[in-house]
């Protein structure tokens, strides 16, 4: 995706400020995920790629039918591009990067076989709760280090800080994703909600989470990056 997520923070400012006001309170937890991230995944066929989407409510399919979340939408996009894939939903609503790190090994060990790709999308809840970006960076770094140690290819989807978090916070937070993508030589989709968060027709009534159409739009943008990882030339 073209564009620098640091420059996008102003464009998304109003929408993300609403997200911050609505979701930063720990007293208002997100709804449960539509699919269990700890359930044992079905064994993909030998010619089918095993992809795990590992993140928070944006991956979990918050308040959507089970077949309309990010995992099934991405699977459909990949199929349309000629990539046979079984995309497993390992999204948990409300997860911070620390919570993701805690459940990573259990999630990976619950897969029927080693994934061909893990897409990591965490950190939004860290930002919404004003957690120290240094801690978010360490947690995501540890997640990617574990995937590397297990020789599992990874991909990152990023987030940008709401401007009302302050310029210093935004500078520290927004740099996490490109820095780690460079460190681990990973593909990066810089801002998961790009083109969606500013369009109310693509959001649920909460004005925060994408609806089925919003998820589908995201999947059409992320899908080509995923398909590229499975291209014969790689």
Question: Which residues are known to be catalytic?
Answer: 57, 206, 209
Q: 192 with 156: CB under 8 angstroms?
A: no
Q: How far apart are CA 4 and CA 174, in angstroms?
A: 10
Q: How far apart are CA 53 and CA 118, in angstroms?
A: 6
Closest CA to 208 of 133, 125, 137, 130: 125
Q: 97 with 136: CB under 8 angstroms?
A: yes
Task: Specify which residues 121 forms β-bridges with.
Answer: 55
Q: How far apart are CA 229 and CA 153, in angstroms?
A: 9
């Amino acid at each position: 995706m073209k564009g620098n997520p640091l420059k996008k923070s102003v464009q998304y400012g109003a929408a993300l400020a609403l997200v911050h006001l609505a979701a930063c309170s720990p007293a208002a937890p997100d709804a449960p995920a539509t699919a269990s991230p700890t359930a044992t995944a079905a064994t993909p066929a030998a010619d089918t790629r095993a992809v795990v989407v590992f993140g928070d409510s944006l991956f979990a399919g918050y308040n959507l039918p089970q077949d309309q979340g990010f995992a099934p939408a991405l699977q459909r996009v990949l199929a349309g591009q000629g990539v046979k894939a079984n995309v497993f939903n390992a999204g948990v609503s409300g997860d911070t990067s620390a919570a993701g790190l805690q459940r990573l090994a259990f999630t990976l060990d619950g897969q029927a076989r080693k994934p061909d790709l893990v897409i990591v999308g965490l950190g939004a809840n860290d930002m919404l709760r004003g957690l120290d970006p240094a801690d978010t960076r360490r947690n995501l770094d540890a997640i990617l280090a574990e995937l590397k140690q297990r020789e599992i290819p990874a991909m990152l989807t990023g987030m940008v800080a709401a401007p009302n978090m302050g310029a210093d916070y935004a500078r520290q937070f927004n740099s996490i994703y490109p820095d780690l993508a460079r460190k681990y030589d990973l593909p990066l989709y810089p801002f998961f909600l790009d083109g969606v968060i500013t369009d109310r027709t693509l959001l649920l009534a909460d004005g925060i989470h994408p609806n089925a159409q919003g998820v589908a739009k995201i999947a059409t943008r992320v899908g080509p990056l995923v398909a590229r990882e499975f291209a014969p030339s790689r």
